[in-house]
Chain A
């Protein structure tokens, strides 16, 4: 098997989520087994590749990617249509430690597009709800128009505690949730702090303050997990782009115990 050669896949559905962000349902031939938190190198010959997390993992070789069009590859993807082919390699990386979360209270904190890699976690938890204790999702977006997966957030709210916040409120009359930073909501989380586990995904500076906030609320440092973003060209620990002081984020992460990455040079955690 040549890990540098992508396989062809088919886009079976496209959904526009928010401005510049679309969710692609993709299917490949044969079985495809991925875990929440892992990613694919998604791309097209002649264009390039970009690491993109799974935003949902289905059966029968079908899964979703939620992508913001910011550069060469992602803008190309934005122009694709249902039925088009794209190419991918993966799944790569270490996912969220869901096994470790069983039997515990779970705090999920996501910022912006960071909700995308968190969705497969929530889907797994909902499927096996009794295995987990109290589950809280705290999600922050820039404003109401930047909120991902709004319908699902409502649906999830029936089985887990969901708290939303936006940095700035555009429509004060219709916004029934919070405003301000996600860290402001940490106080409202009801968990057995010593045993609870937390998964955090969002901009690195946000993850820094969330992790510190969670520790101040009594969570144990080794129970916090973050998903990191670095430039990636290979996904398999070879090209060196994602190196973070001796770690390969693609191979050793992207999900890391907070312990392992806290205070490393050239990072914000």
Chain B
């Protein structure tokens, strides 16, 4: 692991040189909303972005839509597994919350059974994270320990911190050390102190805070708290925006498609949402028929249900608040139950 200060220009020249072997993805565009997309030059990057609607992990590693296999009918049915995704990709400018979200998705897709499509993309992704220089209105990462600065050694290959016309570049993985050959000034105690000061100053701008201690027990004791029913009735549209923009929501549905002559087709999966009325429907019943129950599933899955992976389900990116048409805020709901 090395830490050095590198002139931004030199860093971006190196990044562009990666395109020989890697497809490059990063935050781009600034007119309306910065979004993660493929770029052909580092000039397209908007590194100082605040937040994006969709997280890089759920765009480029866990794909919103994925073909699981194709099939064709001859005398018998034959199933053809798609080739394992082999392309190398570099994702640059990933904020700490989104980096932690990828670690969360790892728990789902690599924790027990391994999803081969996710696994291949994860291995082929070179992740260059970027500590935040400013927080947005809905960020609450500091309350859940996932930002605004990344704890060293977590989830990425390289970690950047903005030092005005330079980046503090920390190589985390072995492949980063091999790949990152730009020279710079070795960062010493002074630079690391400046880094800590920067972290503190960003921390100071985070307004949204929520105490997540003891939520498991609190929520279990408040399954019938009026906040669920009231928010569901007055504001929740069951539109699923919260789930779709959530970087840790992992749910998917599986769909089979056949050609019109039924001789071939494919099975695919795409993102699904527990806010959908039929998500938990079975023959003869629906375990979350009520809108309030579905809203509670989202909020409790993010804020507790920590038994699932032993970690809290949210990374505090605040997207579900930003993109909720009626501004439902899971931290506010939590606070209402806490009585604070």
Residue ranges of A at the interface with B (Cβ–Cβ < 8 Å): 2-6, 8, 44-49, 68, 70-71, 85, 87, 203-204, 229-231, 233-234, 236-241, 243-248, 251, 265-267
Determine if B251 is an interface residue (Cβ-Cβ < 8 Å): yes
Partner among B279, B288, B307 whose Cβ is within 8 Å of the Cβ of A246: B307
Interface size (B, Cβ < 8 Å)? Answer: 50
25 A-B Cβ contacts within 8 A? A2-B81, A4-B69, A5-B81, A44-B77, A45-B256, A46-B265, A71-B283, A87-B79, A204-B285, A229-B282, A233-B269, A237-B108, A238-B109, A238-B252, A239-B252, A239-B253, A240-B274, A241-B272, A243-B251, A243-B297, A243-B301, A246-B308, A248-B308, A265-B223, A265-B296
The number of A-B residue pairs with CB atoms under 8 Å apart is 116
- List B contacts of A6 (CB < 8 A): 79
Question: Binary interface profile of B, 48-79, with partner A (CB < 8 Å = 1, else 0)?
Answer: 00000000000000000000110100001101
Contact call B258/A46, Cβ cutoff below 8 A: yes
- List A contacts of B279 (CB < 8 A): 231, 241
Within 8 A of A (CB), among B283-323: 283-285, 287-288, 293, 296-297, 300-301, 305-308
Interface window among B28-36, B111-119, B128-136, B188-196: B111-119
| B312 smallest CB distance to A (angstroms) | 12
Contact call A233/B254, Cβ cutoff below 8 A: yes
When chains A and B are docked, how far (Å) is the Cα of A178 from the Cα of B304?
Answer: 46
Determine if B267 is an interface residue (Cβ-Cβ < 8 Å): yes
Determine if B280 is an interface residue (Cβ-Cβ < 8 Å): yes
| B297 smallest CB distance to A (angstroms) | 7
| A94 smallest CB distance to B (angstroms) | 12
Partner among A85, A238, A239, A266 whose Cβ is within 8 Å of the Cβ of B76: A85
Partner among A8, A239, A240, A248 whose Cβ is within 8 Å of the Cβ of B77: A8
When chains A and B are docked, how far (Å) is the Cα of A53 from the Cα of B257?
Answer: 26
- List A contacts of B301 (CB < 8 A): 243, 246
Contact call A230/B287, Cβ cutoff below 8 A: yes
- List A contacts of B281 (CB < 8 A): 231
Known contacts: A71-B283, A267-B287. The answer to whether A4 contacts B308 by CB under 8 A is no
Nearest CB to that of B286 among chain A residues? Answer: A231
Other A-B pairs, 13, CB within 8 Å; known A240-B251, A247-B307, A266-B297: A45-B265, A48-B255, A68-B283, A237-B112, A238-B113, A238-B250, A238-B252, A239-B253, A239-B269, A240-B250, A245-B305, A265-B296, A266-B280
| B66 smallest CB distance to A (angstroms) | 9
When chains A and B are docked, how far (Å) is the Cα of A230 from the Cα of B281?
Answer: 8
Contact call A5/B79, Cβ cutoff below 8 A: yes
Nearest CB to that of A49 among chain B residues? Answer: B254
A-B complex: 3 closest residue pairs judged by Cβ atoms = A240-B251, A246-B305, A45-B71
When chains A and B are docked, how far (Å) is the Cα of A229 from the Cα of B305?
Answer: 20
Within 8 A of A (CB), among B234-255: 249-255
Contact call B81/A240, Cβ cutoff below 8 A: no
Contact call A231/B272, Cβ cutoff below 8 A: no
Known contacts: A4-B69, A240-B251, A266-B293. The answer to whether A231 contacts B282 by CB under 8 A is yes
